[in-house]
Structure 1
Amino acid sequence: MGLTLTGSAALYAAEPATTPAKPNILIILVDDMGYSDLGCFGSEIKTPNLDRLAAGGMKFTQVYNTAKCYPTRASLLTGAYYQRTDLDFSKTATLGEVLQPAGYHTWWAGKNHAHFNPVTRGFEHYYGMIGGAENHFNPGDQPAGPGQPAPASKGKGATWADDAVEMKRFTPKDPKFYDTDAFTDRGLQWLDKYGKDGKPFLLYMAYTAPHWPLQAWPEDIAKYKGVYDGGYDAVREARYKRQIELGLVDPKTSPLPPREEDVKAKKKKAKGENGAEDPRTVATRMEIYAAMVDRIDQNIGRLIKKLEEQGKLDNTLIMFLSDNGACAEGPKVDNADPHAPMGSVASFVSYGQNWATVSNTPLRKWKTDSFEGGINTPLVVHWPAAIKPQAGWNREPAHLIDIMPTVLAVSGAKFPGESKQENIAQPDGVSLLPAFKGLPVRRPNPLFFQFAKGAAVRDGQWKLVRNTQTWELYNMAADRTEMRDLAAQKPELVQKMDSEWKAWWKDTTGNEWTGTPPKEKAEE
């Protein structure tokens, strides 16, 4: 496929007339969830509500994000590669800005991670965290003393907003506050308040879970007591077996890669230290993580129930995704209470590289990487009015840049041509509506990736990828888990795709590729 970097307006402007007019749109984005963490994707974690949506709709297996929190949110909200956006999205238009003029309510609850308040960019209501990570039980002031909340990311309190009111340190008054529940509470309030006015809505639920710190309600953690006592490899192999049984993976084209040695443990061993935790602590970390995913599903169930009560579920397009692969990183704070029970308000821990590998079964690597484990997300789509339940798997490669064109196609909204200040970057993606109807998606260009040291090109069955200066080449049709590097055997293809990637880089950034990754725009 040759490279012709063009706007995609023609690719989402005209769709079959049988599509229901102006559906409600519910976009659910979770934070740092791995490829295999849903029951319908092979997990032992209980996700009956998402499994129900998957059974009544579609499951996409090759949908890409950007490997990191902020870039993914930029692409999802604008349809543009994040390299075209600034932290305030000034060069782009948001979903809110295109849907409000089309007669939609526009609501957003949860994480933002950009440098603006959503009510200034087309959203009628916003409730959530403008930053990147937080204490899930108490994002705000951190009283001193044992048993008190650990700090938010890097020791700072998270900035929250309730519509136009911004709080630099939001300390909840409700002793039962937990952000996953609180975001859903607000979404339900909006549905109740405006549910009878006849207008369609966009509800964007951007949950911060299961991003570290690992914190969950005790009753949810208790569900998974002992489930992970068998250790990383036993759980990973059980998930892989279920994925084969579900038809999600073919062991011939997706063999399970060896689990990579834990980097932190390796460093400890090099210093003569014991690099291993006791098995109970290891299992507890994953029990809490599972509880966080479980709680998300419970809250999605609350949203589904409300839509059913209002008679709106059939004509609501629901799309569920994760912002990147599972996270092998840990929090950058060191002053949490080491004596507090893991999972509580005063604890601030992550689950580490080995459990992240389990979460991403069978894919390699993790968040921030351009290998499949860093940039793949399950996509569950449910829309009874337009999508017939599909028992199989849709293996169409897609990307978060396709969400905006899809929303435009189903809503009839128009994307603005330019702002008062300068031209607005048009969406880079294409509409997935044909895939909803069982048709192929016409994509004129390859899919491109760059974050930190990682980069990739996905062009048909071929993927060029690197985490260093050296490209690797994989045939994704025959080697989905990236086990057999073919770069040395196909140098001409490597050169062609490298040239495509460099042309894309110049087009999206305005700069020639120097070989040195730029400093990223946003961290946790």
Structure 2
Amino acid sequence: MKRSAAFLSIALLMAVSGCVDRHGPAMAADTSPSGDTRPLHDLTGSKPNIILILADDMGWSDLGAYGSEIATPNLDRLAREGLQFTQFTNTSKCFPSRASLMTGLYPQQVGKDKSSNTRMIGGTTFAESLRRAGYHTYMVGKHHGSENPIERGFDHYVGLRDGAGNYFNPGTKARPGEPEPARKEKDGRVWCFEGKCAKGYTPDDPNFYTTDAFTDWTIDYLREATADKAPYLLYLAYTAPHDPLQAPDEARAPYRGKFDGGYARIADKRWANLRRLKLVDDRYPRPTAVYRDWNKMTAAEKADQTARMEIYAAMIHRLDEQVGRIVAFLEANGTLDDTLILFMSDNGSSAELVTKGKTGREIGADNPIGSVGRWASLGPDWAEVSNTPFRYYKNDSYQGGTASPLIVHWPRALGSKNRRVEALSNLIDIHPTLLDLAGLSYIPTADATGRAAPLPGISLVPLLEGSPTVSRPRPIFNRWRWSRSVRDGDWKLVSIVPQGEAEDGTWELYNIATDRTETHDLAAAHPEIVARLDRAYNDWLKEVSSRKP
């Protein structure tokens, strides 16, 4: 494949200096069915281009199409013209979700259930699979693992190999006129530019902003892919709106003062929007709020909390603008109708607070929130609002941790009318769906258990074609540290032991058909269902956790 001059320049700069700078210039739903339920293969006639976009730590109601007050017109358009899933779920944690998405396996099966500082063990990524169908494969953004994605089926990769990083300066050196960049590691995060990876990437451009840079690199790859004339898969993993809370001043400007009324006021507005959009109804009892009473907070506390939500909103707004740039590029070259775009989040909004040592203070606490020198986090109060209408947060197997928006846009195959998809779906379903659309069968390879296991998920193609349901032979399982769950049809078993081991928790049982917000525990009323799902969970855990002798 011919490589662009821009990326040849990247490789040269990396070889000479170990770093590079390439920040380019910024450039009520209709729920009726589309009416066309013919097989997607008949509708397309050829393999679609695929762009998979992943947000980071974004709550279920953080998009306008899902009830937010944050302006996201570009993603709202994709939802309005495509499919909007209401019961799509993830693992509740960044790196397990990313491993599950890429492989279609549970994170336990590829050794990504405990630490991000490991390589995926075995399995097959969707990039490795689609290469067999002649796809050119690209990745941009956050990987959150120890291998370069080029080692796992991507022809090209540029981005943050590690977890979260400073948006303005992800390196270690202060640029002229700026404080030292706030960061978690003294020597910085690992960034990769094609085959070259290094720590401490400090961009020279004072206007560098990670969300924008990821989009610049994406459009470079799309330009190359379009010229190659082959079908392509492009996986774009943004870091927004994961902390640190950082956004350019112009992005924050529309949100100044918007959140002065506090948590309850914004949560009430979101609830009203969700009702108006018919995204919630009587199946969603409203949980009791646990965020603080705004009226009992000091003026300084209110100012601090308002600033956090303003910047968080600005980060999502900026992400949406960048998605708009990608859509505009596709429209300009006439390929939007033939491109399958999927948008989702890796977990719910985060209540985590990043502090420095035992001080209890944020990194760079003496610098303003939102600046290059401060690592500020959203915190549990706004995270609860962000996850409206659900309870709990990232790291928890309750809906607040695992519920994600999923938007699917593909005009040529799906038509252009919004359709809601209420069937249960999960990250493990993406790989089999892409295989189905590419006309491929899965070829199992040995994973971390030592077995060549089949994919546990299902193809979502019947849902894309218009079916209201799809058969799922096994429950969906989740386990991350202190929380676990089993979802079997309308029944959900879940437990949580904060700061403990998941298996020490007491199971709660919810009927999602009538209680999607998990407010009425039915475990005592249905012990037989609890026992059945508990056995299924223990069998699954043994299956995915065992290692080959």
TM (normalized to structure 1)?
Answer: 0.89
CA displacement, residues 76-107 of structure 1 (integer Å, 9 cap, x when unaligned): 00000111002322321111111122111111
- 1:196-217 per-residue CA deviation (whole Å, 9 max, x = no partner) reads 2210111101001100000001
> What SS does the corresponding residue of 2:85 show, helix, strand or coil?
strand
Do structure 1's residue 322 and structure 2's residue 345 form an aligned pair?
A: yes
Match of 2:223 among 192, 195, 198: 192
Does residue 356 of structure 1 match 2:383?
Answer: yes
Instruction: Give yes or no for the alignment of 1:177 onto 2:202.
Output: no
The match for 2:23 is: none
Counterpart residue number, 1:54: 79
Q: Give the AA of the match of 2:492.
A: K
Q: Which residue of structure 2 lines up, in the alignment, with residue 38 of structure 1? A: 63
For 1:153 and 1:260, locate their aligned partners in 2 and report how far apart those are by CA, in whole Å. 29
The within-5 A match list for 1:62-101 is 62-86=87-111, 87-101=118-132
Out of 42, 46, 57, the residue aligned to residue 18 of structure 1 is: 42
Q: How many residues align?
A: 488
Asked if 1:290 is matched to 2:297, the reply is no
Amino acid at match of 2:509: L
In the alignment, the residues of structure 1 paired with residue 97 and residue 459 of structure 2 have an alpha-carbon distance, to the nearest angstrom, of 17
Q: Which residue of 1 aligns with 2:490?
A: 461
Deviations 1:359-393 (Å, cap 9, x if unpaired)? 00000000000100000101000011111344342
CA drift of 1:194 comes to 2.9
Instruction: Compare 163-172 and 228-237 and name the one that shifted more.
Output: 163-172
Structure 1 residues 47-446: aligned runs within 5 Å: 47-86=72-111, 87-143=118-174, 147-250=178-281, 252-261=282-291, 277-333=300-356, 334=361, 336-418=363-445, 423-439=451-467, 440-446=469-475
Partner of residue 12, structure 1: none
- Contact conserved, 2:91 with 2:402, CA < 8 A, in 1? yes
Which residue matches 1:449?
A: 478
* Distance in 1 between residues matched to 2:204 and 2:178, nearest whole Å: 17
What is the alpha-carbon distance in structure 2 between the residues aligned to residue 389 and residue 194 of structure 1? Answer: 25
Supply the AA of the counterpart residue of 2:516. Answer: R
Closer/same/farther in 2, CA of residues 177 and 106 from structure 1, 3 Å limit: same
Provide the rounded CA distance (Å) in 2 between the counterparts of 1:434 and 1:119. Answer: 32
Contact 1:24 1:316 in 2 (8 A): yes
**Is contact 1:147-1:337 (8 Å) kept?**
no
Residue 411 of structure 2: SS of its match in structure 1? coil
Percent identical among aligned pairs is: 45
Q: Distance in 2 between matches of 1:394 and 1:277?
A: 43
The 1-side partners of 2:534 and 2:94 are apart by 26
- Give the drift of 1:337: 3.0
Deviates more, 1:409-418 or 1:125-134: 409-418
| 1:133–1:152 Cα contact (<8 Å) kept | no
Quickly say closer, same or farther: Cα 1:461–1:25, change in 2 above 3 A.
same
Q: What per-residue deviation string (whole Å, max 9, x for no partner) do you get for residues 495-519 of structure 1?
A: 01100111111111127xxxxxxxx
Could you tell me whether the CA contact under 8 Å between 1:151 and 1:157 is conserved in 2? no
Deviation at 1:114, TM superposition (A): 1.2
**Cα distance change, pair 248–495 in 1 and its aligned pair in 2 (3 A):** same
CA contact (8 A) 2:263 2:291 kept: no
Structure 1: 5+ residue stretches without partners:
1-14, 512-524
* Contact 1:368–1:451 (Cα < 8 Å) also in 2: yes
Change (3 A) 1:344 1:459: same
Amino acid of the structure 1 residue aligned with 2:351? A
CA deviations 1:106-126 (Å, max 9, x no partner) are 110000011100111110111
Q: How far 1:424 moved relative to its partner?
A: 3.8
CA 1:91 to 1:19, structure 2 compared with 1: closer, same or farther past 3 Å?
Answer: farther
Tell me the C-alpha RMSD between the 2 structures.
2.2
Deviation at 1:145, TM superposition (A): 11
Partner of 2:510: helix, strand, or coil?
strand
Shift of 1:416: 2.4
1:310 CA displacement: 1.5
Going from structure 1 to structure 2, the CA distance change for 1:414 and 1:245 (only over 3 Å counts) comes to: same
Q: In structure 2, do the counterparts of structure 1 residues 420 and 48 end up closer, same or farther at CA, with 3 Å as the change threshold?
A: closer
Decide whether the 8 Å contact of 1:146 with 1:337 is kept in 2: no
Matched, 1:478 2:514: yes
Deviates more, 1:84-93 or 1:141-150: 141-150
Moved more, 69-78 or 81-90: 81-90
Stretch deviating more after TM superposition (82-91 or 26-35)? 82-91
Q: Write the letter of the residue equivalent to 2:403.
A: N
Contact 2:140 2:236 in 1 (8 A): yes
TM-score (norm 2): 0.85
Is the alpha carbon distance of 1:277 and 1:476 closer, same or farther for their aligned partners in structure 2, counting shifts above 3 Å? farther
Segment of structure 1 superposing worse, 387-396 or 157-166:
387-396
Compute the displacement of 1:19 (Å): 4.3
Please report how far the alpha carbon of residue 149 of structure 1 lies from its aligned counterpart in structure 2 after TM superposition. Answer: 3.5
Q: Please give the alpha-carbon distance, in whole angstroms, between the structure 2 residues aligned to 1:184 and 1:350.
A: 24
Compare 437-446 and 491-500 and name the one that shifted more. Answer: 437-446
Question: What is the alpha-carbon distance in structure 2 between the residues aligned to residue 444 and residue 277 of structure 1?
Answer: 53
Distance across 2 between alignment mates of 1:276 and 1:330:
21
For the residue of structure 1 that corresponds to 2:316, the secondary structure is: helix
Conserved in 2, the CA contact under 8 Å of 1:149 and 1:347? no
Q: Distance in 2 between matches of 1:387 and 1:420?
A: 35
CA distance in 2, matches of 1:245, 1:61: 15
Question: Which ranges of structure 2 fall in alignment gaps of 5 or more residues?
Answer: 1-38, 112-117, 498-504
